[in-house]
Amino acid sequence: MAFKIASSPHVSTSLHTNKVMLRVALCLIPGIAAQLYFFGAGTFIQIILALVTAYIAEASILKLRNKPVADTLKDNSALVTALLLAIAIPPLAPWWIVVIGTLFAIVIVKNLYGGLGNNIFNPAMAGYVLLLVSFPVQMTDWVTPHSVAQHSVGLRYALQGIFTPEFINLGHNISFDGKTMATPLDTLKTDLSMGLTTTESLLKPIFANMAGVGWFGVNLAYLIGGLIMLKLKVIRWHISFAILGALFICSSFGFMLNPDTHISPIMHLFSGGTMLAAFFIATDPVTAATSAKGRLIFGAMIGVLIYIIRTFGGYPDAVAFAVLLANMCAPFIDHYVRPRAYGHRSGN
């Protein structure tokens, strides 16, 4: 009878990587459905493009590395990376945007670091930042939400917008103020830079509620999906609640100091990619801190960074930058807050 020695943690579980990743993908469905409703069929096309690119890129690089292709693809990590990147991209962004971002995420960020478990950055967010820095116009051109647009973006129009952008540029627009518009956070930040107060900016139609038309519903849907993951014990609560708690405290303090130049806590929590980051991105076990105390510090750091960049930086959403900066600090956090071994004495 063989006695197998394995490294800690010695936890018995039936959830393997492929099942965990599959559950994450399934819990994204409420948020994806909300995006399809508010922003049209373009999100669905971006998801298909990202999935095809991710699996082809993953299979190709595994073949070059002489790794088992079929078995590795079954871990569903490429599926989750493709989904997270696709839903973060504007629905009518040109097709090559999502292809470039997915290739960078899978080939460079994930596989060139050694594959799943060895990457130091979240692949989807690294791909997103590459696209945002390289193609800022395309990456900030969002579809007008369904409830304030004259017409919804159907599948035919989405195909034309993604694969033949010149069709859009010729004036074939469908919304009340053109094909696309800035996000609520971007609109508010631009208005503040022009001397308007928060109250004056919120009078615009896109701010039918405090978090922005469409964006409140999308964030609420991702919150529901995140709570389901907590219920299924796919993720732990520390990072998610630390992000939301830190962001709420910072934004409440700023809003109380000067409500005319600072965004309300509700808008910070339910606009942009806040809920998506708190439950689906920052909780990536590979790139986050590992101990309970470390996860709280890691999450709080992301929440504070989101607030600082949104308030004082040049990027309105700031989620991707905050996550990547925290990824760099995760090893440092783990080093200093790792649990003490039983019987350890300080100074030894």
Q: Which residues pair with 181 in a beta bridge?
A: 142
Residue with tokens 């629905």: 91
Q: Which residues pair with 87 in a beta bridge?
A: none
Residue 154 · residue 41 · CB < 8 Å: yes
Is residue 224 assigned to a domain? yes
Same domain, 110 and 138: yes
Same domain, 176 and 212: no
Same domain, 202 and 140: no
Rounded mean pLDDT of 247-252? 95
pLDDT tens digits, 34-60: 999 988 889 999 999 999 999 999 999
Is residue 344 assigned to a domain? no
Which of these three, 165, 181, 197, is where a domain ends?
181
How many structural domains does the chain have? 2
Q: Which residues pair with 86 in a beta bridge?
A: none
Residue 91 · residue 39 · CB < 8 Å: yes
Q: Does pLDDT of 197 surpass 60? A: yes
Q: Does pLDDT of 78 surpass 80? A: yes
Residue 249 · residue 257 · CB < 8 Å: no
Share of the chain above pLDDT 70, in %: 84
Same domain, 239 and 167: no
Instruction: Identify the domain containing residue 187 by its residue range.
Output: 183-337
Is residue 9 assigned to a domain? no
Q: How far apart are CA 268 and CA 19, in angstroms?
A: 32
- Angle (CA) 300 302 305, round 5°: 110
Rounded mean pLDDT of 263-282? 91
Q: How far apart are CA 112 and CA 128, in angstroms?
A: 18
Same domain, 137 and 209: no
